[in-house]
Amino acid sequence: MIKSTPPKNCTNKYSLRYVAVILVFLLLILILHSYHHHADFKRHQVDVMQQSVQGASAEITAAIVERQRSIRVFVKQHKSLIQHLTKNPDDQTSYQELKNIISNRFPNSFSFTISNNKGEVLLANFDLSVNEICQKNILEFIENEFNYDVALHPNPKAYHFDIMTEWDNEQTTVSDLNDFSQAVFFISFKPTIIARILKNSQVHDHQLFLLKKDTINLIEISAQGTRIQIPNLNGEFFLSPEQISRIGFKKSVDETAWELVDIQDENILIDYRNERITQIIFIVLVFILISYIFLSIARREEHTRVQSENALSQMKDRLEQALSFSNVGMWQYDILTQEFTWSKRANNIFHQMQPKTFDDYLELISVTDQQSVRQSFEHCIDTGLRHRIEHKIEIDGQNEHWIEITGNIEPDNNNSNPKMIGLVRDITIRKLAEQNRISFEIQQKNTLVREVHHRIKNSLQGVVGLLQQHSKYESIDNVMLDHAVSQLNSVSLVHGIQCEHHTQKISISQLVDIICKATLDIMGVNIVPNIVSTPDTQHYINESNAVPVALIINELIFNAAKHTTKLSEKNIHIGVSSSEQYVIISIQNDNAKLPEDFDFDKAQGIGTGLSLIKSLLPRQGAKLSIQQINVGVLAIFKLSYPIIINDGHDNHDSNSQKTA
């Protein structure tokens, strides 16, 4: 069954939540940061306004003081001319001369005059350049012991401010002493220099205004000039309440009747705030854009990962189904602790008797397979090669099952805890099927072999019957014919034995007994062999050597019967004795005599029959000796491995196992 996977939008929903949370934190940080920046900006503006006002105020004071000093120096330099005008105020020539000198020395001067110590103007004032306010200021200057705070004077021709200084009239007579001993020299200046100082000291988005101290919020001078020169005032020469609220810093200007204020632009904080908001919006948009890009990439990767996980889950489910159908389980073996971990399906294979350790695992294996299983595991651990072995296990000491176990070393870069991992499969059904198949094939083979042996035996017996029919004719040598019949009959007997038994093993004692009976049919002599066998031991002839051994035994018996002086069963003695490793067949012919030059090993003095025997004698596992004894001739035929098989096991394998 394929497991259901969570909706694809689930991960996206959580991702959007993470982005939203981060965005909220980012907004909080940006807002807090902007708040602090805004507060810093306001403090900075206050500092800027303070520095601007203080600097401009100091410059204005310095400019006023410098004008006062310059006028005092000027009065000393041109004292004689000034005294002359004081005595002769109607002297236009001197007046024009002094005016030209003042214009050259003080380019921004507007007018000048001379007054006595009573504040009375001595020079003609036809153009009213020295108005009542100026005269009043001269009087205040004298009354205040020649101290005066500079102020702006309105005038139809030009707004101006006055600089006055006292001077001593040394040529005044005693009669005029009260009027002229202390006089005042007066010069009016246009406020151009004051406006220039304000303009140079004024920072961007700020305005500097000189206000009159004794008239609240009355504008005197700005960076554009006097109040009548300031645009957009429209006759409103006083600060508005909104402008008053924006005054950042103010300071009285020494030596003047002015107060200098700095008014910041009404939009400066709003613009800064909007700029910060714009930055925040930009940062948020960039963050959203980057988040969108990364989310898109993450979504594609997540989609790919989900597809891979779904495919992996499907493969896992299919693998589990395949393992379920194939009855396969998984296992893991910790090499250090020698402990097993089995899957649920592996537990079913072991019928809930799964081993926990390697020793427990070996106890379930049959004794014959334990050594090979241990060697296979050790070989895999030592070499890292794949481990695969099939063996039997015993469940509850009764039920036997076949399992196939495969595995390999699990990759571990650190090699700190090496483990083996693999599969285990119950192959009992397969093994039983293989055994049944092998048994069926063997049965079919045995049936076919018996049928072949049966047909060969029938064919040979047919040939024997034909030869025996020809023995009635006198022209045929019956001895040779009987010899041929005897040989064919021996081969036929071998095939007859093989076709009668489902196994292909031929007992030696049975073969000797049948050949002796066949001799009775051919030569009329009833020979009964003396068979002595080791108790509980039965010897068989290897199938591939059955025919030559049968022919050799037949030739020996036939020769013994043929060469006896008196054909009788009492003259021929046949014995069969056996031990665990060999079988000895002895054939003794009484009253027989070998030729004097007889030597079987060297093939001397042997006839056709013994020549045939020598050619048929196997090179391994068979030894024949023929010797003359007192009563006759004795042939000893000794058989051993690989000719004979002892109780179904060849002696060589038995010895090899014992040696091992």
pLDDT at 74: 92
Judge if 205 and 342 occupy the same domain: no
Q: Is residue 370 part of a domain?
A: yes
Please report the sign of the dihedral spanned by the C-alpha atoms of residue 79, residue 84, residue 88, residue 94: negative
Report d(CA 223, CA 270) in Å as an integer.
24
Judge if 645 and 561 occupy the same domain: yes
pLDDT at 195: 92
Judge if 408 and 444 occupy the same domain: no
pLDDT at 653: 42
Q: Are the C-beta atoms of residues 361 and 338 closer than 8 Å to each other?
A: no
Residues 6+ apart with CB under 8 A from 78: 98, 101
Judge if 352 and 434 occupy the same domain: no
pLDDT at 652: 45
In order, the DSSP letters of 90-101 are: T-HHHHHHHHHH
pLDDT at 349 over 70: yes
Percent of the chain's residues with pLDDT above 90: 10
Per-residue pLDDT of 64-105, as tens digits, reads 999 989 998 999 999 888 888 888 888 889 888 988 999 999
Q: Identify the band that residue 5 occupies on the pLDDT scale cut at 50, 70 and 90.
A: very low
Judge if 277 and 128 occupy the same domain: yes
Q: How many residues does the chain have?
A: 660
Domain encompassing residue 497: 427-504
pLDDT at 550 over 50: yes
Pick from 325, 355, 374: which residue ends a domain?
A: 325
Judge if 643 and 572 occupy the same domain: yes
Per-residue pLDDT of 397-456, as tens digits, reads 667 788 888 988 876 666 667 888 888 888 888 888 888 888 888 777 767 766 776 677
Across residues 106-116, what is the average pLDDT? 86
Nearest to 12 by CA among 285, 298, 288: 298
Segment among 112-126, 295-309, 358-372 with least mean pLDDT: 112-126
Across residues 117-134, what is the average pLDDT? 70
Across all residues in the chain, what is the average pLDDT?
79
Judge if 542 and 414 occupy the same domain: no
Q: Is residue 513 part of a domain?
A: no
Higher-confidence position of 282 and 498: 282
Backbone angles phi, psi at 637, to 5 degrees: -110, 110
Pick from 504, 529, 545: which residue ends a domain?
A: 504
Higher-confidence position of 464 and 137: 137
Q: Is residue 511 part of a domain?
A: no
Judge if 230 and 317 occupy the same domain: yes
Please report the sign of the dihedral spanned by the C-alpha atoms of residue 424, residue 429, residue 434, residue 438: positive
Bridge pairing between strands 160-168 and 152-153: antiparallel
Judge if 371 and 434 occupy the same domain: no
Q: Is residue 514 part of a domain?
A: no
Backbone angles phi, psi at 302, to 5 degrees: -65, -40
Pick from 426, 456, 491: which residue ends a domain?
A: 426
Q: Is residue 26 part of a domain?
A: yes
Q: How far is CA 485 from CA 116, 313, 330, 461, 482, in A?
A: 192, 80, 69, 9, 5
Bridge pairing between strands 182-189 and 160-168: antiparallel
Per-residue pLDDT of 573-609, as tens digits, reads 888 888 878 899 998 888 778 888 888 888 888 877 7
Q: Is residue 510 part of a domain?
A: no
pTM here is: 0.47
Domain count, the chain: 4
Judge if 437 and 556 occupy the same domain: no
Judge if 464 and 543 occupy the same domain: no
Report d(CA 425, CA 403) in Å as an integer.
5
Across residues 549-570, what is the average pLDDT? 72
Burial (CB count <10 Å: 0-12, 13-18, 19+), residue 377 = buried
Cα Rg, the chain, nearest whole Å: 72
Q: Identify the band that residue 497 occupies on the pLDDT scale cut at 50, 70 and 90.
A: low
Helix 546-562 × helix 508-523 angle, to 10°: 40
Judge if 302 and 231 occupy the same domain: yes
Q: Identify the band that residue 2 occupies on the pLDDT scale cut at 50, 70 and 90.
A: very low
User: At 385, is the secondary structure helix, strand, or coil?
Assistant: coil
